[in-house]
Structure 1
Amino acid sequence: MIDDVAPDVRTHVVPPVHGRRARAGFWLVAAVYTLVMLGGTLPIPLYAFWAPQMGFGPFTTTLVFAVYALGTVLALMVFASLSDRAGRRPLLAAALLAAAASTVLFLVARDVPTLLAARFLCGLSTGVFTATATAALGELAGAEHTRRASTVSTVSNMGGLGLGAIAAGLFAQYGADPTHLVFRVYLVGLIPAFLAVVVTPETVMARQRPALSVRRPAVPDRGTGRTEFLRAAAAVLAAFAVSGLFSSLVPSFLREQLHVHNVAAVGAQVGLLFLVALVAQVAVPERWISGRWPAPAFLMAGVVVFETGLWARSLPTFAAGTLLAGTGIGLVFRGGVGVAQRLADPLRRADLLATYFLAAYTGTIVPTLALGLLDQMINQGVATLLLAVTVVATTLAGALRRPAAATA
Structure 2
Amino acid sequence: MIQDIAPEIDSQNRGGRRVRIGFWLVAAVYALVMLGGTLPIPLYAFWAPQMGFGPFTTTLVFAVYALGTVLALMMFAPLSDRAGRRPLLAAGLLSAAASTALFLVARDVGTLLAARFLCGLAAGVSNSTATAALNELADGDVRRASIVSTAANLGGLGLGAVVAGVFAQYGADPTHLVFWAYLATLAPALLAVAITPETVVVRGRPALAVRRPTVPARDAGRPEFWRAAAAVLAAFAVGGLFSSLVPGFLHDRLHVHNIAAIGAQIGLLFLIALVSQVAAPARWLSSHRPAPLLLIAGVAAVQTALWTRSLPLFVGGTILAGAGIGLVFRSGIAVTQRLADPQRRADLLSTYFLAAYTGSIVPTLALGLLDQALNENLATLLLSAAVVATTLASALKRPTPAAA
User: Which category describes the TM-score, using the shorter chain as reference length?
Assistant: over 0.9
Structure 2 counterpart of 1:268, from 258, 264, 267: 264
1:261, 1:15 → 2: CA distance? Answer: 55
Partner residue of 1:99? 96
Partner residue of 1:180? 176
Partner residue of 1:73? 70
Structure 2 counterpart of 1:191, from 176, 180, 187: 187
Letter in 1 for 2:251: R
1:403, 1:292 → 2: CA distance? Answer: 14
1:25, 1:195 → 2: CA distance? Answer: 11
2:44, 2:305 → 1: CA distance? Answer: 22
2:306, 2:96 → 1: CA distance? Answer: 34
Letter in 1 for 2:290: P
1:139, 1:10 → 2: CA distance? Answer: 15
1:207, 1:72 → 2: CA distance? Answer: 28
Partner residue of 2:321? 325
Partner residue of 2:108? 111
Q: Is residue 41 from structure 1 mapped to residue 41 from structure 2 by the alignment?
A: no
> 1:373–1:403: structure 2 CA closer, same or farther, 3 Å change rule?
closer
Partner residue of 1:297? 293
**Greater displacement, 113-122 / 390-399:** 390-399
Partner residue of 1:64? 61
TM-score (ref. length: structure 2): 0.96
1:205-240 deviations in Å (ceiling 9; x for gaps): 244311111101011136331111111111111111
Identity %: 74
Letter in 2 for 1:160: G
Contact 1:88–1:202 (CA under 8 A) maintained in structure 2 = yes
Structure 2 counterpart of 1:20, from 17, 20, 27: 17
TM-score (ref. length: structure 1): 0.95
1:22, 1:42 → 2: CA distance? Answer: 30
5+ residue gaps, structure 2, are: none
Partner residue of 2:389? 393
Q: Is residue 281 from structure 1 mapped to residue 277 from structure 2 by the alignment?
A: yes
Question: RMSD of aligned C-alpha atoms?
Answer: 1.6
Contact 2:223–2:398 (CA under 8 A) maintained in structure 1 = no
Partner residue of 1:142? 139
Contact 1:255–1:261 (CA under 8 A) maintained in structure 2 = yes
Give the CA deviation at 1:9.
3.5
Structure 2 counterpart of 1:348, from 317, 321, 344: 344
2:207, 2:54 → 1: CA distance? Answer: 41
SS of the residue aligned with 2:214? coil
1:138, 1:14 → 2: CA distance? Answer: 14
Contact 1:98–1:124 (CA under 8 A) maintained in structure 2 = yes
Contact 2:227–2:398 (CA under 8 A) maintained in structure 1 = no
2:288, 2:122 → 1: CA distance? Answer: 33
Q: Is residue 258 from structure 1 mapped to residue 254 from structure 2 by the alignment?
A: yes
1:178-208 deviations in Å (ceiling 9; x for gaps): 0000000000011111100010000002443
Partner residue of 1:51? 48
Partner residue of 1:4? none
1:323-353 deviations in Å (ceiling 9; x for gaps): 0000011111111101100000000000000
Letter in 2 for 1:257: R
> 1:170–1:289: structure 2 CA closer, same or farther, 3 Å change rule?
same
Contact 1:84–1:350 (CA under 8 A) maintained in structure 2 = yes
1:117-156 aligned within 5 A: 117-143=114-140, 145-156=141-152
**Greater displacement, 204-213 / 345-354:** 204-213
1:46-83 deviations in Å (ceiling 9; x for gaps): 00000111111111111101111110011000000100
1:292, 1:400 → 2: CA distance? Answer: 9
5+ residue gaps, structure 1, are: 1-6
Contact 1:13–1:206 (CA under 8 A) maintained in structure 2 = no
Letter in 1 for 2:123: T
Contact 2:10–2:198 (CA under 8 A) maintained in structure 1 = no
Partner residue of 1:3? none
- How many aligned positions are there? 400
Q: Is residue 312 from structure 1 mapped to residue 296 from structure 2 by the alignment?
A: no
1:292, 1:15 → 2: CA distance? Answer: 37
